[in-house]
Amino acid sequence: MTRLIEGLHGSTDASGAVEERGSLDVGEEVTVPAGQWSRGSVRTFVALAFAAAIPLLLLSGWMATLMAQQQRDQTRSAAVASATRVAERVSSDIASQMEVLGAQAASASLDRPDLAAFYAEATRLKAAHPLWETVELSNPSGVQIVNLLRSLDAELGPTADRESFDAVIRSERPVVGGIGPVGPISGQRRVALRVPVIRSGALRFVLSVGLATNAVSSILRDAGAPEGWVGTIVDGDGNTIARTRAEAQELGHPANPALRAAIMRAPSGFYSGPSLEGPDIDVVYRTLEGTGGWSVHFGMPVAALNAPVARSYYVLAGGSALSFGLALGLVGLVSRDMAQRRSGEQARFSLALRSSEEQGALAVEAAELGTLRWDTAQERAIGSVRAAELLGWDAEASLDRETQADARKMLDAVHEEDRHRLVDAVRHCIADGMPLDEEFRVRGRGGQPRWVRMIGRVPETFKGAPAALIYGVVADIEPRKRIEAERLELLRRLGEAQEDEQRRIARELHDQVGQTVTGLSFGLKGLQGLLEAQGVSGEATDQVQWLRSLAGEIGRDIHRAAVQLRPTALDDLGLREALATLLREWSLRHGIPSDLQFPGEASRLPADIETALYRIVQEALTNILKHAQARTVSVSVERRPDEVRMIVEDDGIGFDAEKGPGPVEDGAAARPHLGLSGIRERLSLLRGTLTLETAPASGTTLFVRIPSPPRSA
């Protein structure tokens, strides 16, 4: 395509080379999308994998967290179960030993009492219970009477654990003591189980068992603490009785305040607080029944307990982070994919657009049309080279193949008589969205005006909104205009020649034939005189008389014929007199009154205009006579500074302007159309216009306007 045009223009300049490259670009872009698509599908697959991985990651992280939490709860509930089990075990153990002790208290050996028998029984009992360190018998004042650690007769001091002893004295019921002070006999801290020995309603003795320090611990160990938990048994005063770890250091020491507070709060539950070893611990505890406020505690460091949960949190966080990364990657992939698709679409669009533009350009160039975008808001116009050439722009700024011009400069190049019309048409086009179609002259390179036609409209895309843009094509109509002008000139010359010929014949009739007839009538008059002088009368004189009247008629007919060809008055006296005569004669002949008005100055008009107006009135009168059934006719001719206006009005039946001329009654029989077209033809030669105003039963009015040069011309 480009090469074809270059060939036509016969040049291969720089712009041609650019175009060549441009068309190669198009070719490349055709092949590129195929490669892009396979790469694109891999990317799509990756993106799908990413999209699937993100919820999986998040879900598994969540699951891990849930499972970790569940595990922690399980651990805790296992601890609770252990606590319960240990508590029951310890309780039952203690209770069974209390029972044994209660049975011993009811022994007959204490009835009298028989201390030796009791001593033997107690020794036997102690042997049966390895955890029993000692068995002691005290009187109500707290003085030991028997202690298995000593022989029967040995002098014994007061009992060690005074607190639990007092509790027995007070309640007269078995009591489980806490861990007591260091005993004077054993030199160790013991846990005392005490029962009252009641005979005949009075408390005689208190029977006690001192449990070995590690006895409760061994119960605790036997009950079995869950793995990882540290078990502790605390007495009613909050002192540690037994512990699964570091027992030696801790026994007898008061437990931490958090523990005590928890026991005060509820018989069982959870608490957390600093441990004896240092790190924070979570503790499950349970109070023992029938042990005087003992409680079992299982503690585990918070860190250890929460370790799996914390780990799962790390897993979750890691999964989230990874998901986020994947999501970012996915976004990147998708957006890149979209961008590439879009660029592919754009490439195809631009290809299609370019090919359609090429087709349009081919059509435009084949028709030798110039294309134009006219922005009236910015007063700029951008046009093709052809448009620039047709509109006579100086190549002000060339953009590729287009030329830009200032709208005012562009209008300056338009012929001044057409400029206003063009501006009006453009304004109308933009304001009302009407198509623009104007023919105007442009000052060409050689200064010769050249006719061009501009067809345009507001682009469809801007129709809704107010736009100040017109797309148009410019065509060279100079040849057509030249032919038109030639045709008009021919018509004008034809009309002129016809008028001249008619004028010549009319003159001939008047000046030659007319005068000859006049001479004839003078001659006949003379003949008549001669005959009369000779006394001839009768047939000869009658004959001469007849000939004279005949000559007179010939003279009149000649005049009439001459006037109909062309009234000499029009040349000699002007339009006003000629029209006055025409109307007067017409009225007399047809009995229709007429009226003529010449408002304003009665100066002569140019001959061609006078002739045209006269002929138009003639044609109008003919039409009126044929069709109008008028009662009066009125003609007025008014000379304005820049034009002549003539109005021919009748009060006849008129006609329906929509249906076309023709009397309503007669239908197609009459056609004054020919008359009107004759009038229009005549006016077109003088750039005049005819306006017709009529309606049935309201007469017909012709408005004729002919532009005329100023009076001085």
Residue numbers at the binding site for other proteins (CB under 8 A): 510-511, 514-519, 521-526, 529, 548, 551-552, 555-556, 558-560, 563, 567-569, 572-573, 577-578, 580-581, 583-585, 587-588, 593-597, 599-601, 632-636, 638-641, 645, 647, 649, 651, 691, 693, 698, 701, 703
Of 440, 370, 446, 447, the C-alpha closest to 411 is 440
Query: Contact 637/579 with Cβ under 8 angstroms?
Result: yes
**Nearer to other proteins (CB atom), residue 332 or residue 600:** 600
- CA dist., res. 414 & res. 419, Å (int): 6
**Nearer to other proteins (CB atom), residue 432 or residue 572:** 572
**Nearer to other proteins (CB atom), residue 369 or residue 635:** 635
CB of 616 to other proteins, least distance (A): 16
Return the ∠ at Cα 469 (arms to 463 and 472), rounded to 5°.
100
CB of 630 to other proteins, least distance (A): 10
Query: Contact 164/180 with Cβ under 8 angstroms?
Result: yes
**Nearer to other proteins (CB atom), residue 492 or residue 559:** 559
**Nearer to other proteins (CB atom), residue 511 or residue 666:** 511
CB of 662 to other proteins, least distance (A): 21
CB of 549 to other proteins, least distance (A): 10
Spatial strand order of the sheet with 202-211 comes to 144-147, 132-138, 202-211, 189-199, 175-182
Query: Contact 511/503 with Cβ under 8 angstroms?
Result: no
Amino acid identity, position 252: G
- CA dist., res. 262 & res. 232, Å (int): 14
CB of 643 to other proteins, least distance (A): 10
**Nearer to other proteins (CB atom), residue 50 or residue 586:** 586
Taken in order 497, 503, 506, 511, the sign of the CA dihedral is negative
- CA dist., res. 122 & res. 340, Å (int): 100
**Nearer to other proteins (CB atom), residue 115 or residue 513:** 513
CB atoms within 10 A of CB 712: 4
CB of 447 to other proteins, least distance (A): 34
Both structure tokens of 630: 């008028």
**Nearer to other proteins (CB atom), residue 120 or residue 697:** 697
Using alpha carbons, list the distances in angstroms from residue 555 to 513, 514, 516, 524, 541: 8, 6, 9, 14, 21
**Nearer to other proteins (CB atom), residue 32 or residue 561:** 561
**Nearer to other proteins (CB atom), residue 17 or residue 561:** 561
CB of 633 to other proteins, least distance (A): 8
CB of 592 to other proteins, least distance (A): 8
CB of 484 to other proteins, least distance (A): 28
- CA dist., res. 633 & res. 619, Å (int): 13
Query: Contact 92/290 with Cβ under 8 angstroms?
Result: no
**Nearer to other proteins (CB atom), residue 82 or residue 528:** 528
- CA dist., res. 574 & res. 607, Å (int): 9
**Nearer to other proteins (CB atom), residue 112 or residue 604:** 604
**Nearer to other proteins (CB atom), residue 208 or residue 700:** 700
For helices 673-685 and 607-623, angle between their N-to-C axes, nearest 10 degrees: 170
Using DSSP bridges, classify how beta strands 594-597 and 633-639 pair: parallel, antiparallel or unpaired.
parallel
Sequence-distant (≥ 6) Cβ neighbours of residue 558 within 8 angstroms: 509, 510, 513, 514, 517
**Nearer to other proteins (CB atom), residue 180 or residue 688:** 688
Q: DSSP string covering 347-399, please?
A: HHHHHHHHHHHHHHHHHHHHTT-EEEEEETTTTEEEEEHHHHHHTT----EEE
CB of 587 to other proteins, least distance (A): 3
Sequence-distant (≥ 6) Cβ neighbours of residue 91 within 8 angstroms: 288, 289, 290, 291
CB of 696 to other proteins, least distance (A): 12
Of 121, 115, 120, 117, the C-alpha closest to 138 is 115
Using DSSP bridges, classify how beta strands 643-650 and 700-707 pair: parallel, antiparallel or unpaired.
antiparallel
Both structure tokens of 36: 């892009």
CB of 505 to other proteins, least distance (A): 14
**Nearer to other proteins (CB atom), residue 102 or residue 552:** 552
CB of 498 to other proteins, least distance (A): 21
- CA dist., res. 672 & res. 623, Å (int): 6
Cis before 113? omega within 30 = yes
Amino acid identity, position 665: E
Both structure tokens of 230: 């540290």
CB of 705 to other proteins, least distance (A): 9
**Nearer to other proteins (CB atom), residue 267 or residue 599:** 599
Query: Contact 177/190 with Cβ under 8 angstroms?
Result: no
Q: DSSP string covering 558-607, please?
A: HHHHHHHH--HHHHHT-HHHHHHHHHHHHHHHH---EEEE--S--PPPPH
Residue 424 CA to its chain's centroid (Å): 37
CB of 695 to other proteins, least distance (A): 8
**Nearer to other proteins (CB atom), residue 192 or residue 620:** 620
CB of 11 to other proteins, least distance (A): 57
CB of 519 to other proteins, least distance (A): 3
Q: Which long-range contacts link 332-341 to residues 24+ away (Cβ below 8 Å)? A: 333/43, 333/46, 333/47, 333/50, 334/47, 336/43, 337/40, 337/43, 337/44, 337/47, 340/36, 340/40, 341/40
